[in-house]
Amino acid sequence: MVVLYEHPLSPYVHKVKIALTEKGVAFEPRLPDFVGGQDAAFAGASPRLEVPALDDGATTVFDSTIILEYIEERWPTPALLPATPAARARVRMLEELCDTYYEAINWAGFEVRVFQRATGELAGRLLKRAAEQIAGVNAYLERQLGDAPYFNGASFGWGDLSVVPAVHAAALGDNPPPAGSRLARWLDRVRARPSVATTFQAATESMAGFEMIPQLIASGIFKRQYRDHRLEWMVRSGGLDIVLDGLRRNNIRFTTEPQ
């Protein structure tokens, strides 16, 4: 059976789980050893030690976008990409925006609210910036959706499974799309799909016991990965001190250097 190295909270993992479920591909979710870093099979599949990574027998694939492409070619039906080159480019651009811009905002909100990287005035300022950015990107997405029922067009697909992890996470963090908006109605429609509902249910359940995490981070046992757009978000949005503090306390890390 296909093995999916994952963490139930990862929006990149959500994309892949929804795609596999939509195509009826059975998979075994496997949580790698992030903290100990001793998981040789995971390191073999994902040299940067990031989830998701897919193990399909003789083939291993890392990075959610590359995994989605692999899934679409390996199990072509039902197709998740729309039919025309222009529509395909459009949903891939939505995916890129959500992966590299929207995701960072939600990740930063989690760092502040759940992992308590900032408190008091700094926390308030960062969460206000995040809320403004989410309102902006949601307005952009609302225009991209237009009057269509789905980002893919007439039916659910790649565009929707790429956007929903971001809009859902923002909504859970108290920044839902405006009530009654087309984006809000789309979110309700897409959350009701079994592939999406089961994926998000697993995420919610995984948060039991999360009150331990700030302590694990403070102690340096659990290092959070700051890289790319996430690192940029902190610097750009007023959280440079969080980065410097994390470096001093040795509880953040950058990209793993593949060996």
Contact residues toward ligand GSH (CB under 6 A) are: 7, 10, 12, 34, 49-52, 63-65, 99, 224-225
Shortest Å distance, C-beta 120 to ligand GSH: 26
The span from the CA of 163 to the CA of 17, in Å, is 14
Residues 170 and 176 sit within 8 Å (Cβ to Cβ): yes
C-alpha distances out from residue 222 to 182, 211, 215, 225, 250, Å: 40, 13, 9, 10, 10
- CB nearer ligand GSH, residue 107 or residue 150: 107
- Encoded tokens for 48: 């940067």
Neighbouring C-beta atoms of residue 6, cutoff 10 Å: 23
Query: In one letter, which amino acid is 23?
Result: K
C-alpha distances in angstroms, 249 versus 55, 220, 224, 243, 244?
A: 35, 7, 12, 10, 9
User: Which alpha helices (H) appear in 98-212, and where do they start and end?
Assistant: 103-113, 120-145, 158-172, 182-191, 194-206
- CB of 159: closest distance to ligand GSH in angstroms? 16
CB of 122 to ligand GSH, least distance (A): 22
With respect to ligand GSH, which residue has the nearer C-beta, 182 or 224? 224
In the complex, minimum distance from the CB of residue 43 to ligand GSH, in angstroms, rounded to a whole number: 12
Instruction: Closer to ligand GSH by CB, 123 or 231: give it.
Output: 231
CB of 149 to ligand GSH, least distance (A): 26
Which residue's CB is nearer to ligand GSH, number 16 or number 118? 16
Q: Which is nearer to ligand GSH, 69 or 245 (CB)?
A: 69
